[in-house]
């Protein structure tokens, strides 16, 4: 069997997975930056895979650069990738830099019902990045701070601008930064729970995407759904993996 490659061009990172004979032989990621075309040229400096499937926010840009590449939707790619890593999973949650997806999985990684929030940054990695910056912290440090909170306030706004204003008001009232950080994470988890409920939340749930690397949000999502969630070792690579799997099935 020849090689197949899956490319996920996200808003924050570009991910590549190359597979041969049913095994992943290469995984790479680069930041998307403000020059995704330049980043793609750097990624494929040694040559473009002959069999390439593209997905993600920038898949059309990738197809302009590599016209022979096949495109697959993010929903299909993440469903296939998540189901390949956890065949027992019945629901998939993907929180990326710019959107959130909740997918009811059918056998073989097929897609049942799904919901996708791609109209604003509310509840996405971009939201957490924005509020972390307002605290003067990296996203990782912001998550670590949130884990030390024990009395989170209710954050009512998921708009990035209004949430920052609400956080500033809470600080002026003497609420600790740790509890505000935890409250902001809980607001994201709560929004996620609503999306999962609309696709018929069924365990086990697999949590993928770059935000699944946030330990505070993983804990809060698990608490919100009422059971542990499955998180792959490299949750941000699931879309690229699924794109490669899709291409292998489409062009055996």
One domain for residues 102 and 197: yes
What CA–CA distance (Å, rounded) separates 113 from 91? 10
One domain for residues 192 and 243: no
Say what the pLDDT of residue 125 is: 80
The number of beta carbons lying within 10 Å of the beta carbon of residue 231 is 20
Say what the pLDDT of residue 169 is: 82
Read off φ and ψ for residue 21, nearest 5 degrees: 50, 45
What CA–CA distance (Å, rounded) separates 86 from 202? 14
Say what the pLDDT of residue 54 is: 98
What CA–CA distance (Å, rounded) separates 181 from 152? 8
Of 208, 224, 228, which Cα lies nearest the Cα of 83? 208
One domain for residues 29 and 98: no
Full DSSP string of 39-57:
HHHHHTTT---SSEEEEST
Assign residue 9 the CATH number of its domain. 3.30.420.40
The boundaries of the domain holding residue 190 are 89-231
What CA–CA distance (Å, rounded) separates 6 from 237? 10
Question: How many structural domains is the chain composed of?
Answer: 2
pLDDT (tens place) for every residue of the chain, 252 residues total: 589 999 999 988 999 999 999 999 999 999 999 999 999 999 999 999 999 999 998 999 999 999 999 999 999 999 999 999 999 999 999 998 888 999 999 999 999 999 987 556 666 788 888 889 888 999 999 999 999 999 998 877 666 666 677 777 888 788 999 999 999 899 889 888 989 999 999 999 999 999 999 999 999 999 999 999 999 999 999 999 999 999 999 987
For residue 27, give the 3-state DSSP assignment: strand
């Amino acid at each position: 069997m020849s090689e197949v490659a899956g490319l996920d061009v996200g808003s924050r990172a570009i991910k590549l997975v190359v597979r041969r004979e049913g095994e992943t032989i290469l995984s790479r990621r680069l930041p998307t930056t403000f020059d995704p075309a330049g980043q793609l040229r750097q990624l494929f400096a040694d040559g473009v895979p002959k069999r390439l499937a593209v997905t993600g926010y920038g898949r059309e840009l990738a197809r302009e650069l590599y016209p022979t590449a096949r495109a697959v939707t993010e929903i299909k790619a993440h469903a296939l990738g998540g189901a390949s890593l956890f065949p027992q999973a019945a629901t998939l949650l993907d929180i990326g830099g710019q959107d959130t997806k909740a997918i009811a999985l059918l056998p073989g990684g097929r897609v049942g019902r799904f919901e996708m929030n791609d109209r604003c940054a509310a509840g996405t990695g971009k939201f957490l990045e924005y509020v972390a910056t307002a605290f003067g912290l990296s996203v990782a440090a912001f998550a670590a701070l949130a884990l030390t909170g024990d009395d989170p306030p209710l954050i009512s706004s998921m708009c990035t601008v209004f949430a920052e204003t609400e956080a500033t008001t809470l600080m002026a009232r003497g609420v600790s930064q740790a509890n505000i950080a935890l409250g902001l994470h809980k607001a994201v988890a709560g929004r996620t729970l609503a999306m999962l409920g609309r696709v018929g939340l069924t365990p086990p749930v697999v949590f993928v995407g770059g935000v699944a690397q946030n330990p505070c949000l993983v804990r809060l999502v698990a608490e919100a759904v009422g059971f542990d969630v499955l998180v792959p070792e490299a949750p941000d690579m699931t879309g690229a993996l699924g794109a490669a799997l899709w291409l292998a099935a489409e062009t055996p």
